[in-house]
Amino acid sequence: MAVKLRLMRMGKTKQPTYRVVAADSRAPRNGRFIEILGHYDPRQEPSLVKIDVGKADAWIAKGAQPTERVAKLLVTARSQPAAGADAAES
């Protein structure tokens, strides 16, 4: 079984949002998945990227292959400050 980290389309017609999931490469795009790793909303300005980088790195360490788009989103997610960091500084 080859595991891929990929996007699963959600949302309404013409208003897409995406989940970042770990799924078997043979499963359909919106079909069965193993684990939800985060979500991505390209319609916001700037785009909203929330991915659990720890879980994603764990899957990559086990041999999962991210798609091109998910690899770019992971770079973006790693460069964002941690969500809890703002609360800790206040």
What digits encode the pLDDT tens for the residues 36-78? 999 999 999 888 999 999 999 999 999 999 999 999 999 999 9
Residue-level pLDDT at 37: 94
Tell me how many domains the chain contains.
Answer: 1
The pLDDT tens digits of the residues spanning 6-20 come to 999 999 999 999 999
Note down the domain range covering 52. Answer: 3-80
Can you give the CATH number for the domain in which 25 is found? Answer: 3.30.1320.10
What is the tally of helices (H) and strands (E) in the chain? 3, 5
Rounded Cα–Cα distance for residues 3 and 54 (Å): 17
Q: Is residue 89 part of a domain?
A: no
Q: Is residue 75 part of a domain?
A: yes
Q: Is residue 74 part of a domain?
A: yes
Do the Cβ atoms of 32 and 23 come closer than 8 Å?
yes
